[in-house]
Chains A and B, each alone.
Chain A
Amino acid sequence: MKLQEQNISKNNFEQCIKCTVCTVYCPVVPVNPLYPGPKQAGPDGERLRLKKGEFFDEALKYCLNCKRCEVACPSGVKIGDIIQSARLKYSRHSPSLRDTILASTDFVGSAATIAAPIVNAAVAMKPAKAIMDGVLKIDHRRTFPKYSSGTFERWFRKEAAAAQEKFDRHVGYFHGCYVNYNFPDLGKDFVKLMNAVGYGVRLVDKEKCCGVALISNKMTGAALRHARHNVDVIGKTVADAGNPVLLTSSTCTLTIRDEYPHLLGVDNSGIRDNVLLATKFLYTLVDSGKVKLVFRKDFSMKAAYHAPCHMEKLGWGIFSISLMKMIPGLQLEILDSNCCGIAGTYGFKKENYEVSQAIGEPLFRQIGEINPDVVATDCETCKWQIEMSTPYKVMNPVSILASAIDVEATRAANG
């Protein structure tokens, strides 16, 4: 009888009891009949694929990798991972030029920031959009995130790096491609906030793109190189006095913490616990009384918070929400749990545009009903999607906090 007690399946997909709640929670299923749904694509399909690889269904490319199925699963099945792993293992489609361009966020970003005004104007022009749509199959209705003139790293080295060393305590910062190439302001807000509570910021030395877009576009080799490099350089920061490495993007956080080991087989056990979203780290400090936040008296804002799918997978939405709720002048509404539909590079692809917008529709509608001053969310691609699909401006909770605090008073309180 002992044998029977020990016979516990190590095959995660076998923990599925076919309750199908994953398919109910999948945002793609109701809007795209070509997608078989997470149960069928995940644990059910895995059995068939183990029988014969030809049972791999190219329709798995319609998976957003939003991981909502995993959040819903009561049996702990890593459904999204099963689907993404199957794509990496079985798909015969190699990434197109379009996929390569979309996925190479850091390479394209570093080129584009040099000539940002020209690039921004060019990609917004009709002929360029027609070429992108017709040749590259990047949907012409999609607005491109603007590139910044000059990277965050450059600003940090010139304007901030020296001042950081005056602090006794430090945190590492993995800014990600978006902050570096598109929106350095978020990085500046992060530095401002951390400095105010008495922490100096040190950049992770030569970080590479986390690789989420490389994974979803099946550029496995590049994704592996990025993952190994990042685990290595983050490890050096962590080793430096045990400083945590903070991020302001929920997707980069999930990728480094979970996708590296689950999809790429990269061992991150040495750093995983120290890779945290900034709001989680800050909330823990405030909650334990180690730091205090003092807010401006004249701050007034109505915000609607959208928890990104990967934030829900991390289970950390509560930290961003709780911090924002501390702001006296902030009227905060929590939006229903919905996917915005963009899922990184997915929504940029011509074949996904309609589906992407249909998925986001309930979210856009609710935002309109609430009519906030800004939408708050921790994910840059959710920001693009919401800003393109609604008239509302989107801010990262870190930026909202940075603009709400009384910097001098906060410094004094944590002095």
Chain B
Amino acid sequence: MKTASSDGIYDVIIIGGGATGAGTARDCALRGLKVLLIERHDIATGATGRNHGLLHSGARYAVTDTESARECISENMILKKIARHCVERTDGLFLTLPEDDLGYQDKFVQACRASGIEAEILDPEEALRMEPSANPDIIGAVKVPDGSVDPFRLTSANVIDAKLHGAQILVYNEVTDFIFDKDRIVGVKVLDHVTGEKSCRYGDVIVNAAGIWGAGIAEKAGTKINMFPAKGSLLIFGHRVNNVVLNRCRKPANADILVPGDTICVIGTTSDRVPYDQIDDMRVTPEEVDILLSEGQKLAPCLASTRIIRAYAGVRPLVAVDDDPSGRNISRGIVLLDHETRDGIKGFISITGGKLMTYRLMAELATDLVCKKLGVTAKCVTAEVPLPGSKNESPEEISDKLSSVYANPMRASAGRHGDMASSISHGNEYDLSLVCECEDVSLGEVEYALENLDVNNLVDLRRRTRVGMGTCQGELCACRAAGLLANTKKCVADAKADLRRFMNERWKGMYPVSWGETLRENEYTLWVYAGVCGMNGHASSKTEKEAENEI
């Protein structure tokens, strides 16, 4: 195994720290390549972290897109093996409501079976026993092997393994330009957003894995990828109302999936084309909230009277099929572009399209192409080798052994970090005291994340640990976490500025659903931070405004 060198020359430079980029970095590193991954924000900030967190069985695509369905069920079974701590085997139900055509169910079940997806027709009563929150009016139900997946954990585990195999990860670094040698891209110019420094990094192959932002990356390389940003909005409810994924058994439409994920559940999505120049500023509109609520309660009526804690939106990287200048012919599948054969640009490939579910397969395809270009023959092993966190015991096995007092923070840590939780210090009451009370995040876990998981700020910390993801949205935990961050970074001023960014970022997601208890709680948070702590509630600088736009 070669380690990443300090001279800035790599076998492969990957642009984009979403699941695909992180997965590609891992795959390349496992195959012995010298890898650099460059991400302009934090890992999993784009579409990777802004979806349902649904571990598709593929059933959703069975009728309309057999290829995607096959990819999904295959990856579904792989992830259940290699990413046990990121995945929950909840199973899923496809419900037929009185307003839906029950005839679709047969077609659906046949299509599922044709794609290798287990699909079992259940009596409505049986389905309701399996998931009591489901609409009691259902006239049909089909059980499929859906699940839920935590995209932050999944991406982080890929990054951790890539680093373990010598990869170098640069977060908060943006690729500003490419360095050409005639018709070959030989490197990238990089701006470090934290230090403001510029540098050049050289690599034999550059992989564009920047999702929807990949169109802009391609443009910098002098070529064009025809992308159609499609905004999808989702709502997070305050607790789990369902323990089984609920879908509508009909052609995919708005707000027809309800996914239980960790402590919460998510309804989504809407789907609207948005102009490319707006993809960095996604805001959920009142109309979208209305659609999500009114459609969502058809799946689970109790959603109508469940607290909503947050709304968020992501942008799907839909890609027009090449050679179709109209752009009408959109692929929802994986798109791998070799820009040497396509555009005559050597040393540059793009991996895009696809979905979170197929990140590993996308990474495998991209890495295969990288290896081909480099003349490397090593085979992909990511379908078999478990990710860090899923190597030894499962979270359930770890949990079973915990019986002591204060077991809950350890149990919650094991759920989030799998067997890596053994590195978290839980030796004394101090380590076990809670930073985030809603999500049971202990001080030991926060310190572990600050030291080991490339945390630059509180929003990063949230993605690694769920600090601030509970119903209080940072009310009690943010200042505690900021204090710990200040200790680690040895800078109080930065931590205070970061605390303000974090609270504004939380407010952005609460604003579209700000009524009732969510508004009351936010008002109370404002008293605490503005009134007691004397913090100004308004974002002042440009960077703070940018941070506000993150979800």
Contact = CB atoms under 8 A, between A and B. Distances in A.
Given A4-B289, A48-B408, A9 B472 contact: no
A57 B408 contact: yes
Given A14-B239, A15-B517, A7 B407 contact: no
Given A20-B476, A51-B240, A8 B516 contact: yes
Contacts of B286: 1, 4
B521 A40 contact: no
Contact of A4 (B239, B429, B475, B515): B515
A351 interface: no
B440 interface: yes
B306 interface: yes
B155 interface: no
Contacts of A20: 476
B405 A34 contact: yes
Residue among A11, A13, A17 facing the most chain B CB atoms (10 A cut-off): A17
Interface string B283-318: 000100110011000000010111110000000000
B471 A18 contact: yes
B125 interface: no
B293 A7 contact: yes
Contact of A51 (B263, B290, B407, B476): B263
Contacts of B263: 47-48, 50-51
Interface string B418-453: 000000000001000010011010000000000000
Contacts of A18: 437-438, 471-472, 475-476, 521, 524
B529 to A, nearest CB: 13
Nearest to B405: A34
A17 B472 contact: yes
B524 A17 contact: yes
A36 B406 CA distance: 8
Interface string A23-59: 0000000000110100110001111101100110101
Interface in A36-85: 36, 39-40, 44-48, 50-51, 54-55, 57, 59, 75
Contact of B304 (A7, A34, A59): A7
B399 A5 contact: no
B54 to A, nearest CB: 17
Interface string A331-350: 00000000000000000000
B23 interface: no
B100 interface: no
Nearest to B261: A51
Contacts of B475: 17-18
A45 B437 CA distance: 9
B187 interface: no
A4 B306 CA distance: 11
A14 B471 contact: yes
Given A4-B293, A5-B515, A39-B437, A47 B408 contact: no
A20 B480 CA distance: 15
A11 B412 contact: no
A6 B304 contact: yes
A47 B305 contact: no
Residue among A3, A15, A34, A57 facing the most chain B CB atoms (10 A cut-off): A3
Interface in B202-247: 238-240
Contacts of A131: none
B470 interface: yes
Contacts of B304: 3, 6-7
B520 interface: yes
A9 B405 contact: no
Contacts of A290: none
Given A3-B290, A7-B293, A18-B521, A48 B307 contact: no
Contact of A47 (B239, B308, B517): B239
Contacts of A10: 302, 305-306
A8 B308 CA distance: 9
A305 B521 CA distance: 37
Contact of B515 (A7, A44, A48): A7
A47 B286 CA distance: 27
Residue among B307, B411, B429 facing the most chain A CB atoms (10 A cut-off): B307
Nearest to B522: A17
Interface string B484-515: 00000000000000000000000000000101
B476 A9 contact: no
B38 to A, nearest CB: 36
B262 interface: yes
B429 A17 contact: no
A14 B411 CA distance: 23
Nearest to A43: B471
A192 B74 CA distance: 81
A118 interface: no
A224 to B, nearest CB: 22
A19 interface: yes
Contacts of A47: 238-240, 263, 438, 470-471
B290 A14 contact: no
B239 A50 contact: yes
A20 B528 CA distance: 13
Nearest to A23: B437
Interface in A265-291: none
Nearest to B440: A48
A50 B429 CA distance: 26
Contacts of A40: 434, 437
A11 B306 contact: yes
Interface string B237-272: 011100000000000000000000011000000000
B239 A44 contact: no
Interface string A196-215: 00000000000000000000
Contacts of B239: 11, 13-14, 46-47, 50-51
Interface string B467-479: 0001110011000
A249 B233 CA distance: 55
Nearest to A4: B515
B163 to A, nearest CB: 30
A45 B411 CA distance: 13
Given A1-B286, A7-B304, A46-B239, A19 B524 contact: yes
Contacts of B429: 33
A14 B517 contact: yes
Nearest to B519: A17
Interface in A215-258: none
B290 to A, nearest CB: 5
A3 B292 CA distance: 10
A383 to B, nearest CB: 33
B411 A54 contact: yes
A110 B517 CA distance: 50
A103 B170 CA distance: 63
Contacts of A44: 437-438, 470
A118 B314 CA distance: 77
Contacts of A55: 408, 411-412, 440
B238 A1 contact: no
Contacts of A8: 305, 516
Contact of A9 (B293, B411, B434, B517): B517
Contacts of A46: 239
Given A3-B290, A4-B289, A48-B408, A14 B476 contact: no
17 contacts: A3-B293, A7-B305, A7-B306, A9-B517, A15-B517, A17-B517, A18-B472, A19-B524, A20-B476, A34-B405, A44-B470, A46-B239, A47-B238, A47-B438, A48-B408, A50-B239, A57-B407
Given A3-B293, A10-B305, A18-B476, 9 more contacts: A4-B289, A5-B515, A7-B306, A7-B515, A8-B305, A9-B305, A9-B517, A10-B306, A46-B239
Q: Across chains A and B, which 9 residue pairs bring their CB atoms closest together, nearest first?
A: A10-B305, A14-B307, A9-B307, A17-B521, A18-B472, A47-B239, A3-B293, A51-B263, A50-B240
